[in-house]
C-alpha cells in the first residue's frame, strides 16, 4: 500500500495515517498528527495548519470530510 502525505502551510509533510483529528476553522484546518494527541491550545504548537490559500491541494483533500 502506498504511503500518502499531506503538505502543511509551513512546508512540512505529514503521513495521512498519523492524523488523529482535524478541526475546521473557516478556510483553514487544524490537524493533529501526534501519536499521544494534541492540545487545542494554540500556544502549545502541537498541531499543523492547512489553509486553503497556502496549501489548496491538501486543504481540498481533507475538507471533503466536512461536506
Q: What pTM does this model have? A: 0.86
Give the chain's domain count.
1
What's the domain range around 13?
5-66
For 52-61, write each residue's pLDDT tens digit: 999 999 999 9
DSSP per-residue letters across 27-51? TEEEEE--TT---S-GGG--SEEEE
pLDDT digits (tens, 9 = 90+) for 7-51: 999 999 999 999 999 999 999 999 999 888 888 766 667 899 999
Q: To which residue does cell 473557516 refer?
A: 26
Amino acid at each position: 500500500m502506498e504511503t500518502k502525505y499531506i503538505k502543511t502551510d509551513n512546508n512540512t509533510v505529514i503521513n495521512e495515517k498519523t492524523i488523529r483529528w482535524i478541526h475546521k476553522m473557516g478556510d483553514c484546518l487544524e490537524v493533529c498528527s501526534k501519536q499521544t494527541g494534541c492540545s487545542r491550545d494554540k500556544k502549545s504548537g502541537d498541531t499543523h495548519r492547512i489553509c486553503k490559500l497556502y496549501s489548496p491541494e491538501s486543504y481540498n483533500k481533507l475538507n471533503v470530510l466536512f461536506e
